Amino acid sequence: MKITYIHHSTFCVEVAGKVLVFDYYNGKGLPGCEYHGQLPEYPQDTPVYVFASHSHRDHFGTEVLTWSARYPHIHYIFAREVKRKLGNSMLKRLGVGEQIKDRITYVRPGEKYEMEDLAVETFLSTDSGVAFLVSVSGKTIYHAGDLNWWRWEGETEDFNRHQEEVYKRQIGLLADRSLDVSFVVVDPRQERDKFLGIDYFLQQVDTRYVVPMHLWKQYDLVREYQDSLESEQMRGRILLFDKENQSLTLEGLP
């Protein structure tokens, strides 16, 4: 399995000749944090699966639909809210037309989907849209989207308590699974609470590797978190990507 970090929460995962792209956007449009990562090029006959957990501009870019011109075996798995953002007029402006609709599967939280040789399960986000659990060629990959234990200074206790309850309930659905790679939110804007979500995830979920994401370029947070873990084995499960378009092939995961 090969992982390529594009930027922010955007990753490409190559496994068994297939490419999975999660939460791609072009890296622009967010003041003070611009990225320049690029999608790698693959042979035209590569099966490509493009996931969008929700429609926020740092997780979804409409240009992904134009990739269908290069990759005839492309399929899109979008949270249902993305459908509202697209509409027929957007498809026309992109020049992809009506035919692209047959390649899009819109998903809701708490459901399971089978598509060709992929199995996709969705979870309710604590922010917007869904998180994904994808099983493909014997490997299991989790991408959180914006599912995180969001605790914000200045919010009410009721709000923060609800965030905690929903997060713990959703992560509890993964407790009896064995995952290969998990992409999990670590957001520096939460300040002292930035590690709440990843801490709980590691305590509850059997995952071989965890990739912190949504870092707003503050990659030193990953090193800080690794240093905070008492177990060397636990530290070894945390993977650091600190450069756009950085790739890593995971040992023991062909």
State pLDDT tens for residues 148-195: 999 999 999 999 999 999 999 999 999 999 999 999 999 999 999 999
Rounded-to-10 torsion of CA 164, 170, 173, 175: -40
CA 177 to chain centre: 18
Model pLDDT, residue 214? 97
pLDDT-derived band at 86 (thresholds 50, 70, 90) equals confident
Model pLDDT, residue 253? 62
What is the rounded average pLDDT of the residues 31-57?
Answer: 95
Q: Which of 91, 90, 170 is nearest to 123 (CA)?
A: 170
| Highest averaged pLDDT of the listed ranges 23-32, 162-171, 232-241 | 162-171
Per-position DSSP letters for 118-145, written without gaps between them: EEEEEEE-SSSSEEEEEEETTEEEEE-T
What is the rounded average pLDDT of the residues 24-38?
Answer: 91
Neighbours of 45 (CB within 10 A): 9
**What's the CA gap between 242 and 72, in Å, rounded?**
32
Model pLDDT, residue 29? 81
Instruction: Pick 100 or 240 by higher pLDDT.
Output: 240
What is the rounded average pLDDT of the residues 225-237?
Answer: 91
pLDDT-derived band at 90 (thresholds 50, 70, 90) equals confident
Q: Which of 13, 82, 78 is nearest to 48 (CA)?
A: 13
pLDDT-derived band at 97 (thresholds 50, 70, 90) equals low
